[in-house]
Structures are given as C-alpha cells and as structure tokens.
C-alpha cells in the first residue's frame, strides 16, 4: 500500500485530502506541525509527501529537502499561495508545485499523476540493468541446449502459480531464472521480493519473512511488514532455502500452504497471495535424509523443478556471456573495448569457472578495467594458469569467490559509515555515484531508507 504524508496548513484542504485518499486505498498520515513532519520522514519511508509552504514551525522547503535527502524515491508536492517559493521548490527537487486556492478534485488529479509517475520510475529502474537487450524476454544470455531447456520451463510455468525449485551451483544464474519467471508471469507489475534464507539467524529471519508487531521484542519500536506481505500479488524468491532451522521451516510451510501467517508478536492472521520460487545450491534430498530438511516442505517447493547446469558443462554459452558482459562494462565504465583476442577467447573457453557466471562476470569487469588496447588479451584476464585450472582445488576456487565477498563488505561498511547515503559512500570509496549505484544493485544491497519497491 502506498504511504502518504500530508503536512498541509490549510485545514479544509488537508481533511478533504485525507478522506479522499484513504478512500482510494492509500495509507495516509497527517503531520500537524513542521517538526512532526520532519520526524515522521526520518522514521518511515513515504511514497509521497504533500508539504504546505507554511506549516507550523518549518517551511515546506525544509520538509521537501528532508524528504528528498532521506529517500530519493519519495515524491514531494509543495503547495503555496501566489507562487511564493515555487522556483525554489522545483529547484530543490519537488515533483510539482501547486498554487492555492485549489479545488480538491484538481489536487487529486495531481496526486494520481505523481503516483503513476512513480510506478513507471520503479518499473524502469528495476528493468535497466538486467534487461540490457529489451528484445530478450528472459534477460538470460545463452543458447546452449540446457539454456533452451530452461527457457522452455520458464514459458511453461510463468503463467501459473506453481512453486518452482531452482537448483544449481553457486553463480549459475538461479536468481536470474527466478526473475525471468516473475517478469513473464501475470504478476509482473507487482513486486519480486528476494530473501536470502541463509543470511540471518533464526529469529531475525522470521521477523524478515513475516514482519513483527510493535513491541514484539526488545527494539521492535514500530510495526514492520515482512517479505511475505511485501510480495503480496507478486513473487517471493526464497534463496538458499536449504539453510533454515526446523522451526522456521514449519512456519514457512504453513505460509506457503495456506497463504496466511501472523506477524511476530501478533495474533491477527494475515492473508496473502504470493507465488513462491525457491533456490538452493545444496542437495535437498540429502538434507532430508540427514533430518535437516522437512520432506513435506520439499514437496511443497518442488512442484516444478529446474536445474541450472554449471558453466563448464555449457561451454558454448561462455563467449556470448563474455561478450554481453564486455558490452555492459565498457558502457558502465566508459571504456572503449571492442572485443577479445583469439587467445583470450581460448583461455575463457578452457577455464573451469568454479564460480560459474558470476565469476565470468567479475573476470570481465576486471579485464575491462585493466585493458589498455581496444581488445582484451590474456594478460587482462586474471585467471589461474591453465595447468592449475583443470585440477583446481576447492580452496583456490573459494579464494576467487572471496573477492566478491570482500567487495560487498567494503560497500556495506562505507554505506554504514555514511548513514546509507549512496552518494556519500561513493565518495568514501572514491568511485562515481553511477558505479556505486550499480554495485549496490549488483550485490542486492538494500536499505529501508531507499525506495522500498526497488529491492
């Protein structure tokens, strides 16, 4: 539900707005004073803020700036009399400036327009990176027979609500496949919500999945909705589903089976309509035998099963993928690199790719950065020597993957230190905002302060 804050000094306009917008299904909150507005903006994410030019104690511009700097996705409409502050407001990033007196109907139309605008922006921003080629329905590069099999599965299951279990080694593209199913499904306008089930300890994971009521535990000073609720009408992607505790597995099973659950610390049953896609890189059948995974949950998840093979088993996908990444990084990093030398291609094809497509992606990123001429040569590829490649030990493979983890740790650290303002974090790391934004997306880093829908 869209969250709106009304900080409007004109009482009758304010009451009218609250009534009509609540009726249209928006969640509306009112700030009586400027201070109240600033505090609310600090604590919650709003999709839209309506700021009167003169609200008790602060002016509309202050509210506007606060809202824009706290969450770039928030739209702000400023109202005022005889155009005072209009230019300033538009300069400071207001979506619109409305001059009073203004009829309620006219105001409502402006709000509708703002909401429509926001919906489009969210859709566009979630589409730009992965779907580099808009003619590609799946957003997946590769034409090997196993990829074509996967496309067939996507086509077959997208339209239904069937739960899909995607298996495969790390970095093979499981999440991409899940996204492709969502994008091609009737749910594509609603959210695709990810949850990595291995990333959090038990109690935190449950609170992430199901949300919690105010006061559910120490520190829960506000009600929070969980991923099941966020994914309502859309798709919930449960990543690394093999790593949940028995207790959480039981709750997840019920939520999937009955499409209902309670928030932590709450008694009200919440109904949702969520499609589940799960992924795992461990062998669930073995986990069942070891008593670590519930068999009934497995059958629930495993209605449709698909396996994304490791890259070394679909060598014909390596060059198309490498070329796709080359184009993307050349654009992203503003480098003129046109292609690969013949020897470089051979190296790419012979390497075993223990980290699969993700490792290839990182290798090409580094190569584009290192490359001095107009094509990538073997020296630009930081692969292990050919002799080592075939019999590569798992420890070495892990080292390569750790480069990724290091980068993510650095990003998180910088973001934390700069209070989750991406621009500031970019400065700390000495990269451009563009690169920062791109990296944040790449690692799937999200934060409450950023636009909710974008994650």
Ligand X SMILES: Nc1ncnc2c1ncn2[C@@H]1O[C@H](COP(=O)(O)OP(=O)(O)OP(=O)(O)O)[C@@H](O)[C@H]1O
List interacting residues with Mg ion (CB under 5 A). Answer: 175, 239
Instruction: Select 239 or 404, whichever has its Cβ closest to Mg ion.
Output: 239
138 token code pair: 């799946």
Considering only CA atoms, which of 234, 118, 149, 241 is closest in space to residue 183?
234
Look up residue 274 and give its DSSP letter: -
User: How many CB atoms are closer than 10 A to CB 247?
Assistant: 11
Among ligand X, Mg ion, none, the one that 310 touches (CB under a kind-dependent 5 to 8 A) is: none
Among ligand X, Mg ion, none, the one that 141 touches (CB under a kind-dependent 5 to 8 A) is: ligand X
Instruction: Select 96 or 208, whichever has its Cβ closest to ligand X.
Output: 208
Instruction: Give the x-and-dash track for 145-184 against ligand X (CB under 6 A).
Output: -----------------------x-xxxxxxx--------
Which of helix, strand or coil describes residue 179? helix
Instruction: Select 171 or 234, whichever has its Cβ closest to ligand X.
Output: 171
C-alpha 165/C-alpha 169 separation (Å) is: 13
Answer left, alpha or beta for residue 140, where phi above 0 means left and psi between -120 and 50 means alpha: beta
Q: How far is the CB of 279 from Mg ion (least distance, A)?
A: 6
User: How many CB atoms are closer than 10 A to CB 110?
Assistant: 17
C-alpha 455/C-alpha 448 separation (Å) is: 10
Instruction: Select 170 or 418, whichever has its Cβ closest to ligand X.
Output: 170
Instruction: Select 236 or 357, whichever has its Cβ closest to ligand X.
Output: 357
Instruction: Select 170 or 432, whichever has its Cβ closest to ligand X.
Output: 170
Q: How far is the CB of 402 from ligand X (least distance, A)?
A: 13
**Chain residues 183-222 in contact with ligand X, contact rule CB under 6 A:** none
**Dihedral angle of Cα 431, 437, 442, 443, to the nearest 10 degrees:** 80
Helix (H) or strand (E) holding 119: helix 104-128
Query: Are 80 and 100 contacting, i.e. CB atoms less than 8 angstroms apart?
Result: yes
Q: How far lies 398's CA from each of 241, 278, 348, 385, in Å?
A: 21, 24, 19, 16
C-alpha 69/C-alpha 49 separation (Å) is: 13
Q: How far is the CB of 407 from Mg ion (least distance, A)?
A: 16
Backbone angles phi, psi at 49, to 5 degrees: -125, 130
Among ligand X, Mg ion, none, the one that 182 touches (CB under a kind-dependent 5 to 8 A) is: none
Instruction: Give the x-and-dash track for 300-339 against ligand X (CB under 6 A).
Output: ---------------------x------------------
Look up residue 130 and give its DSSP letter: T
C-alpha 132/C-alpha 135 separation (Å) is: 9
Instruction: Select 175 or 206, whichever has its Cβ closest to Mg ion.
Output: 175
Instruction: Tell me if 85 contacts ligand X by CB under 6 A.
Output: no
Considering only CA atoms, which of 63, 66, 95, 97 is closest in space to residue 81?
97
Q: Based on C-alpha coordinates, what's the Rg of the chain?
A: 25
Q: How far is the CB of 312 from ligand X (least distance, A)?
A: 14
Instruction: Select 163 or 356, whichever has its Cβ closest to ligand X.
Output: 356
Instruction: Tell me if 140 contacts ligand X by CB under 6 A.
Output: yes
**Chain residues 380-439 in contact with ligand X, contact rule CB under 6 A:** none
Among ligand X, Mg ion, none, the one that 161 touches (CB under a kind-dependent 5 to 8 A) is: none
Instruction: Tell me if 455 contacts ligand X by CB under 6 A.
Output: no
Among ligand X, Mg ion, none, the one that 362 touches (CB under a kind-dependent 5 to 8 A) is: none
Instruction: Give the x-and-dash track for 267-286 against ligand X (CB under 6 A).
Output: ------------x-x-----
Instruction: Note the residues at the interface with ligand X (CB under 6 A).
Output: 140-142, 168, 170-176, 239, 279, 281, 321, 357-358, 361
């Amino acid at each position: 539900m869209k969250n709106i804050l009304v900080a409007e000094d004109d009482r009758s306009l304010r009451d009218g707005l609250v009534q009509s917008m609540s009726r249209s299904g928006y969640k509306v909150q009112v700030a009586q004073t400027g201070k109240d507005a600033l505090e609310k903006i600090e604590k919650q994410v709003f999709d839209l803020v309506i700021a009167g030019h003169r609200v008790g104690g602060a002016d509309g511009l202050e509210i506007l700036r606060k809202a824009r700097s706290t969450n770039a996705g928030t739209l702000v409409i400023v109202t005022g009399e005889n155009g005072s502050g209009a230019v300033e407001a538009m300069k400071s990033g207001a979506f619109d400036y409305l001059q009073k007196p203004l009829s309620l109907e006219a105001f409502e139309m402006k709000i509708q327009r703002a909401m429509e605008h926001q919906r489009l922006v969210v859709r566009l921003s979630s589409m730009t990176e992965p779907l580099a080629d808009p003619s590609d329905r799946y957003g997946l590069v590769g034409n090997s027979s196993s990829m074509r099999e996967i496309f067939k599965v996507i086509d077959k299951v997208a339209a239904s609500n069937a739960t899909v279990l995607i298996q495969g080694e790390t970095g093979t593209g499981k999440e991409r496949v899940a996204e492709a199913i969502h994008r091609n499904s009737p749910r594509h306008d609603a959210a695709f919500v990810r949850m990595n089930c291995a990333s959090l300890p038990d109690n935190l994971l449950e609170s992430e999945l199901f949300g919690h009521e105010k006061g559910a535990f120490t520190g829960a000073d506000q009600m929070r909705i969980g991923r099941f609720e966020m994914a309502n009408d859309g798709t919930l992607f449960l990543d690394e589903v093999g790593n949940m505790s028995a207790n959480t597995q039981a709750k997840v099973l019920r939520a999937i089976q009955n499409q209902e659950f309670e928030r932590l610390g709450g008694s009200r049953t919440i109904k949702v309509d969520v499609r589940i896609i799960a992924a795992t890189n461990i062998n669930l059948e073995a986990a069942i035998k070891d008593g670590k995974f519930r068999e009934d949950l497995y059958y629930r998840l495993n209605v449709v099963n698909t396996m994304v093979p490791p890259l070394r088993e679909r060598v014909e996908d390596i060059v198309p993928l490498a070329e796709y990444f080359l184009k993307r990084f050349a654009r992203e990093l503003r480098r003129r690199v046109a292609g690969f030398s013949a020897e470089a291609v051979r190296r790419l094809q012979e390497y075993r790719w223990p980290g699969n497509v993700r490792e290839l992606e990182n290798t090409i990123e580094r190569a584009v950065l290192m490359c001095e001429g107009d094509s990538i040569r073997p020296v630009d590829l930081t692969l292990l020597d050919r002799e080592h490649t075939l019999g590569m030990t798992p420890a070495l493979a892990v080292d390569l993957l750790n480069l990724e983890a290091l980068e993510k740790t650095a990003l998180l650290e910088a973001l934390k230190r700069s209070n989750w303002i991406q621009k500031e974090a970019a400065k700390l790391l000495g990269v451009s905002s563009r690169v920062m934004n791109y990296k944040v997306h790449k690692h799937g880093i999200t934060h409450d302060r950023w636009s909710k829908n974008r994650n």
